[in-house]
Amino acid sequence: MPTVKFTYALRRFFPTLRDTPASGRTLKEVLTEMDQVYPGVKTYLLDEQGRLRQHVNIFIDGTIIKDRTLLSDPFPETGEIYIMQALSGG
């Protein structure tokens, strides 16, 4: 079962965020699952067309995902899925 880890920056909006096990088989399923645990978090990560927001990154076991549109990157059963923010802006 993969574990989803979140950037600390999201705790401002979702104070109860913590490392969370997921059972989804695709990234899309995992994010939908996270939205059930933390209602609304998906809209912070994806736009309404389902694309990863421009300044959000997802890493799977330390490697950044390639498919930001369909979120089709595979992950191992015991992988770690890191949801990070890009360090942009000021």
Partner 1 sequence: MTRSTILLGTRKGLIAYHRNNGRWQVENLSFEGQPVSIAYADPRNGTWWACLDHGHWGVKLHRSSDRGNQWTELPSPAYPEGEEVKDGVPAATRYIWSMAHGGTKQRARLWLGTDPGGLFMSTDGGDSFRLVESLWRHPSRKTNWMGGGRDQPGIHSIVVDPRDEDHVHIGISCAGVFETVDAGLSWQVRNNGLKAEFLPDPDTNIGHDPHILVAAPTNPDILWQQNHCGIFRSVDGAQTWQDVSQPEGPARFGFAIAVADDDPDQAWVAPADSDMVRTAIKGALCICRTDDGGKSWKEYRKGLPQQNCFDIVYRHALAAAGDTLVFGTTTGNLFFSPDRGESWQTINNYLPMIYSVQFAD
Residue numbers at the binding site for partner 1 (CB under 8 A): 9-10, 13, 40, 43-45, 47-51, 53, 55-56, 85-86, 88-89
Nearest residue (CB) to partner 1, 38 versus 79: 38
User: Which one, of 17, 6, 55, lies nearest residue 39 by Cα?
Assistant: 17
Closest contact distance (angstroms) between CB of 81 and partner 1 is 17
**Distance, first Cα to last Cα, the chain:** 37
Nearest residue (CB) to partner 1, 26 versus 57: 57
Nearest residue (CB) to partner 1, 47 versus 74: 47
| Cα 39 from Cα 41, distance rounded (Å) | 6
Find the length of the chain.
90
